[in-house]
Structure 1
């Protein structure tokens, strides 16, 4: 029995180390917003930015569905893209109100569907001044060995577009 438990532990540890020893690549986007970081964070911390982006990007996002949760850690979100034949599902793993950081791990679709073994989205809301902040979007990913020649990459354009929408939305509130 002890040998079986030890073997299972060893296999699980090897799998964990295999995933975490892969070199992660990063795609990053930053945009400055003339709004306090606290307001930007309120939009980003739960489902606000996802719903706003889905509403404003109807030519890209067909639907957004919460499969589990209410916007906090553990929430599982599925985005279906136009024309409806591809989707991306992610799980919120970190929501840090103090640091204004939100992390989501890809579960299905996106880069995972084209050869990536890991895809993580990190959103940082950085206070620049009392009335200005930066939305930093970062996608980290690892490519499976057998797909390295194809060099698959996640698409950061959707996160960049969502940040532009957030900027326009938040700045229009301050200019009204």
Structure 2
């Protein structure tokens, strides 16, 4: 069900952004966590991750800032990387408590600054067993034609660090 939702969502979002869905590239990670899906979702929904980033990932992120919103759809967040000379700004576009899916669209920074036309990050919490779940992350992006030879990619290390910090926190 989540795979079907993801595919339909990305095709619709790509059409909205005038990006051919075949142009979208995806990087997926699915770490298993020894915690109930409800607890994992509580961390990922709204602004829970920002607090975790501020406390546990100071070696990667210098600061986090909510520019607009309260953590729901429409919220705009700016993440500044260490040593503070680059940042990434994103907007929450989907927050589905029923499906436990959160989607953000990049507004500026990261691969958008080096040749990508769109960057989308989706987190989904999948219940595996009563006290076990999977945190699925999908980073989708499209490269502008004039930058294809350089093959720019999103900073997946930041997403992986967030996943690892989440796993440690939840367990």
Q: Common fold, TM-score beyond 0.5?
A: yes
Q: 1:47 touches 1:71 (CA, 8 Å); kept in 2?
A: yes
Deviation at 1:19, TM superposition (A): 2.5
Residue matched to 1:19: 19
Counterpart Cα distance in 2 of 1:138 and 1:22: 16
Counterpart Cα distance in 2 of 1:134 and 1:89: 26
Residue matched to 1:133: 133
Q: Do the aligned partners of residues 19 and 37 (structure 1) sit closer, same or farther apart at CA in structure 2, a change above 3 Å counting?
A: same
1:9-158 residue pairs with structure 2 within 5 A? 18-20=18-20, 23-158=23-158
TM-score, normalization by structure 2? 0.88
Q: 1:28 touches 1:156 (CA, 8 Å); kept in 2?
A: no
Q: From the two aligned structures, give the one with the greater helix fraction.
A: 1
Deviation at 1:166, TM superposition (A): 1.1
2:31 alignment partner, SS class? strand
Task: Please list the CA deviations of residues 105-134 of structure 1 after superposition, one character each: whole Å capped at 9, or x if unmatched.
Answer: 000001100000000000010000111000
User: Which blocks of at least 5 consecutive residues in structure 1 are unaligned?
Assistant: 1-14, 172-176
Task: Please list the CA deviations of residues 63-107 of structure 1 after superposition, one character each: whole Å capped at 9, or x if unmatched.
Answer: 100000010000000001111110000000000001000000000
Counterpart Cα distance in 2 of 1:16 and 1:87: 25
Task: Give the aligned CA root-mean-square deviation in angstroms.
Answer: 1.4
Deviation at 1:51, TM superposition (A): 1.8
Runs of 4+ in structure 1 displaced over 4 angstroms? none
Deviation at 1:167, TM superposition (A): 1.1
Query: Number of paired residues?
Result: 157
1:19 alignment partner, SS class? coil
Counterpart Cα distance in 2 of 1:157 and 1:72: 25
